[in-house]
Amino acid sequence: MGPIKERIRRPVGFTALLTALLIGAAGCGEPDPFSISEACGTKVDPDLIGQLLPRGEKLKTKDTFSEPKQPRCEFEIDGEERVGLRGDVVEPFVKPLEVKEQTMRRLGNPAPADIGDGATIADHGAMALRSCTYQGEKMQFVLAIDGVEDPQDTAERRRILEKFLRSQLRVAMKAEGCHP
């Protein structure tokens, strides 16, 4: 075989090998996002919550310290508690966004959002509230999520957190018996 054919064959062979390695690596990458349809006894959008959970092999949802007016759950990934989701029915005079201001600061760069009667979106969590009637009395329902590290891109994470609150606030209120 001549030197010209040999020089052509090497780059073609190298390109084919590199392509095969990249395709193989893509198949062996991160696990797919988790898909769950219920958390804290409430239906959730599996696509949205799945995007906010870290990738892993095993997901366990634990209802923690839940009681009437206070649904709570933690998402445990591969044995480690990672993301918390909480709901609270509170008196109308309570100002949850003010009470939790320090917490939201710790979650990173809190900014107001136009959801319900008020909301705050931070880098690693979010909170929204809405007035409601609970057992015949005027109350408020507060939905909060924290410990969120995924997606890695902060702007994308904040966008998904906002979308999650928009879709989940009314659903969680209704599940807890707090009606607008």
Same domain, 2 and 63: no
Give, as one character, the DSSP assignment of residue 67.
B
Same domain, 76 and 15: no
Same domain, 44 and 5: no
pLDDT digits (tens, 9 = 90+) for 19-74: 333 333 344 566 788 888 888 878 888 888 889 999 999 998 887 766 778 888 89
Same domain, 77 and 163: yes
Residue 180 CA to residue 169 CA, distance in Å, equals 11
Same domain, 24 and 53: no
CB 162 within 8 A of CB 143: no
For residue 72, what are its two tokens? Answer: 């709570």
Contacts of 64 (CB under 8 A, 6+ apart): 72, 73, 74
Same domain, 155 and 99: yes
Contacts of 92 (CB under 8 A, 6+ apart): 131, 138, 139, 140
Mean pLDDT of 93-115: 95
Same domain, 11 and 63: no
Residue 15 CA to residue 125 CA, distance in Å, equals 44
Q: What is the pTM of this model?
A: 0.80
Residues of the domain holding 26:
1-30
Same domain, 25 and 77: no
Same domain, 94 and 117: yes
For residue 120, what are its two tokens? Answer: 């705050």
* pLDDT for the residue numbered 104: 96
* pLDDT for the residue numbered 163: 96
Half-sphere exposure of 14 (CA within 13 A, CB side): 6
* pLDDT for the residue numbered 123: 98
Number of domains composing the chain: 2
Same domain, 66 and 85: yes
pLDDT digits (tens, 9 = 90+) for 80-89: 999 999 999 9
